[in-house]
Structure 1
Amino acid sequence: MLNNFFEYFKTKNELLFSYSILCLAAGCICLILSKYSSLQVTGLNAWTKPFKFFISFGVFAFTMALYVVYLDNQRQVTNYCWSFIIFSSIELLLITVQASRGKKSHYNIDTPFDRVIFALMGLSLIVVLIHTIFIITLFFTQSQFDASDEMILAFKLSLIMMVLFMLQGFVMIKLFKHTVGAEDNTPGIPVLNWSKNYGDLRVAHFFGMHALQIIPLLTFILANTKRDVYLISLLYFVFVTFTLFQAFQGKPFIR
């Protein structure tokens, strides 16, 4: 049964599917390291951040593997897959390097080496973002899909929302922090570490990015018409936007 599961998803997009498995495996290794390592970064185990990023990139790759199979221009899809794998791997490698050094990976310009790493991380994500936007345009220029109109609409709307809240990451870079009302590293909720006492811009970033999974899932469960898809997407967008305004007001998402 497990073999059938893997074979099914490999037929969707073997490159991204295989990469997602590697990321999830690396995330599990980081989780194990966090249980046995005493290395700390800003009061948290150093391997917590690599764990979260490996899982996040793995889920993203897995989801895109399901979506891009519906595009006719598979040559461009293959180019995108390799671009994503190369540049996201650079990002993940640099985060892991900084964790192993007991250093912050984000917003760290303490030394010339740290500044180079932070700059390379930013450049890598910009390449991923630009190429992802290009792939999204293919969903809007292609006229026929081997899927229901409702599901393709859900893909399109979730991809737009994902990009919008990917761009929100540049707000955090401009502010050079993600906490509103205090400096970073205030007490946070378990695992995600969102601030329990102040606004945290990572909340909207998280939910906006995961529109990619949530909107199509809700469409599959609840939607019967395109109107349903628009309503689901609108309500989800309102929810994510609310969390963003809440953060800018310095209010925590969860106390």
Structure 2
Amino acid sequence: MTILTDLRERTRTWHRGSYRFAQAFAVITVLCVLAMLIDQRTLNGAPLWAKPFKFAVSATLYFFTWSWLVSLLPKFRRTASWLANTLVVIFGAEYALVIFQAARVRASHFNNATPLDNTIFQVMGGMIAVLWMVNLVLTIAVMFTRIPDRATAWAARIGAILGMIGISLATLMSSPTPDQQALLDATGQSAMIGAHTVGLPDGGPGLPILGWSTVGGDLRIPHFLGLHGLQALPLLALALGVLAARYPRLRDDVLRLRLVVIAGVGYAGLLALLTWQALRGQSIVAPDSQTLTAFALLIAGVAFSGLIAIGRPAKDRELEASLR
């Protein structure tokens, strides 16, 4: 059996709409890379097609994951399938607006420069609100999903919660900055309302492709990290299952469960740390002593907890019963 044949067999029961959508965005990701190589124009200091590229990568990961998760739901499968299709339609429409604005060399987010720009961003805001609600309902459904492998089950649950937090963090970018508010108070108008950079205007120096600010706080970082907890935790559970074939200690499903829970708590801690750092207007590449100390304590706590989990008896019936 070839790798492709094996992949097709494994994904045969996945939700078709979101699975095909993820495949389409994998192709769009490649097209965006080609667009960045051919079209050298920039927008606010970043490659013009960088935002469509980032959205395409996120969409590929996001919809592949939900395609799998919806297939695991023992009940309300038809309702969950309808909700997943709703996510496909909403995100597809939002992405079309992102592409439309990129083709016009206009910012798609926070743009209040013209009536058309404002209308587009308001429509996108409404779409995001609906997407948030649908995502919340699906997350609640995942919380009650029973998966035979408990490490995978809890990885999916914790990852879905982290994903909801990540989506919700986008609201921190929607309020006017102090400068924008002052302009609104003085003139009643501002070309931009909202920003992802804290402490400085958007469009300054940033990391290649990602564009995350290297001179100020950037709320896109915790937004991105939280959103993709939905993939990180299940991938960890998968990796532990694969490693179990080589390391007998990992064949204990309770140990794998403990490690997934510890990783989930650590991931949530990192998400909180990066949000705190961004809100203080501090760049990801220039952490101060407070940030470094908090990060060191987080790493030490996760590592220490992991070592304790590995060193405990093979079966912990109390934990096993409480997490069923």
Shorter-normalised TM range: over 0.9
Q: Give, in angstroms, the shift of residue 146 of structure 1.
A: 4.1
TM-score if structure 2 supplies the norm length?
A: 0.74
Q: Distance in 2 between matches of 1:39 and 1:104?
A: 13
Taking the aligned partners of 2:147 and 2:230, their CA distance within structure 1 comes to: 19
| SS of equivalent residue, structure 1 residue 168 | helix
Is 1:246 matched with 2:247? Answer: no
Correspondence list, 1:157-172, <5 A: 157-172=158-173
CA distance in 2, matches of 1:28, 1:70: 30
Say whether 1:68 aligns with 2:70.
yes
In the alignment, the residues of structure 2 paired with residue 68 and residue 30 of structure 1 have an alpha-carbon distance, to the nearest angstrom, of 28
Partner of 1:22: 24
Paired with 1:139 and 1:37, the residues of 2 have a C-alpha distance of 42
- Other structure's SS at 1:208 match: helix
Q: Secondary structure at the match of 1:147?
A: coil
Residues 162-184 of structure 1, C-alpha deviations (whole Å, 9 max, x = no match): 10121110111124101111111
CA drift of 1:94 comes to: 0.2
TM-score by length of 1: 0.93
CA–CA distance in structure 2, aligned partners of residues 54 and 2 of structure 1: 24
Instruction: Identify the residue that residue 39 of structure 1 maps to in structure 2.
Output: 41
Structure 1 pair 196–235 and aligned structure 2 pair: CA distance change class (3 A): same
- Report Cα offsets for 1:186-207 as digits up to 9, x if no partner: 1001111111111111111111
User: Are 1:205 and 2:220 counterparts?
Assistant: no
Q: Sequence identity, in percent?
A: 26
Q: How many residues of Structure 1 are paired with residues of Structure 2 in the alignment?
A: 253
- Structure 1 segments unaligned to the other structure (5+ residues): none
Question: SS at 1:20's partner residue?
Answer: helix
Larger Rg belongs to: 2
Q: Over the residues paired in the alignment, what is the CA RMSD in angstroms?
A: 1.6
Output the CA distance in 1 between the equivalents of 2:9 and 2:144: 30
CA contact (8 A) 1:23 1:54 kept: yes
Q: Structure 2, unaligned stretches of length 5 or more?
A: 177-193, 241-249, 287-324
Q: Deviations over 1:26-58 (max 9, x none)?
A: 121121111111332112221111111111111
Question: Residue 221 of structure 1: which of 227, 239, 253 is its match?
Answer: 239
3-state DSSP of counterpart to 1:81:
helix
Q: Distance in 1 between matches of 2:30 and 2:3?
A: 19
CA distance, structure 2, for counterparts of residue 154 and residue 146 of structure 1? 10
What amino acid does structure 2 have at the position aligned with 1:211? G
